[in-house]
Amino acid sequence: MKSNLIIVLVLLVLAGLGLWQAEYDMSWIEFWIQQHPVLGAAIYVVLVIASVVLLPLSSMPLLPIAARNFGVLLTAGLSAIGWWVGCLIAFQIARSGRRYLERFTSLEAIDKLEAKIPADVGFGGIVVLRMILPVDVVSFALGLLKRLRFQTYAVASLVGILPFSIVWSYAGGELGEGRLLSFALVVIALTVVVLAVRYLWKKNRG
């Protein structure tokens, strides 16, 4: 239920941002990015990384702006880099110890998720978790699993992040251009896929 609530909240924020963009003149941001494309891309990546490490921030509201100015493919690449680097940092923070982790975020959500993750989760399990759960919380929770190798975690995380960075960037691009119907269809399709994968994963585990 909580995950569904999160999805609804994200959609509301994105929709609100799309409506705001339609009413507000964003040309100054576009002009600045055109003048400083490399710096603009670097700032976007840093913000995405921060959204993973510093709970409960989210980079989702940035997607329409990024896709509108960088294009869908570049936004997907930048988002994937940001989410991946962020999840690696979060993993290492968790590995440094719970006391250090408490300085960054509340452990309540992480403890609940950690209890649901099998101790022997492997490559495929991490890919699935990346597809069905938020990047940030999963990263911290997996970092607390002592048997999980960093190399396995890093590669599996990248595999799981890539397809969704493309889909979310496309959805953000549609919203940024004011195409709300196509945006809604993409999000609905993605939600159905996520719920189906989650159901199959729980069924196989049970």
The residue ranking higher by pLDDT, 129 or 26, is 129
Q: Is 47 exposed, middle or buried (0-12, 13-18, 19+ CB in 10 A)?
A: middle
Q: Is 33 exposed, middle or buried (0-12, 13-18, 19+ CB in 10 A)?
A: buried
Give this prediction's pTM: 0.75
Average pLDDT over residues 175-180: 78
Total domains present in the chain: 1
pLDDT above 70 for 27: no
What residues make up the domain containing 91? 2-205
Contacts of 68 (CB under 8 A, 6+ apart): 21, 26, 30, 173, 176, 177
pLDDT above 80 for 68: yes
Read off the pLDDT of residues 78-102 as tens digits, 9 standing for 90 and up. 999 999 999 999 898 888 776 666 6
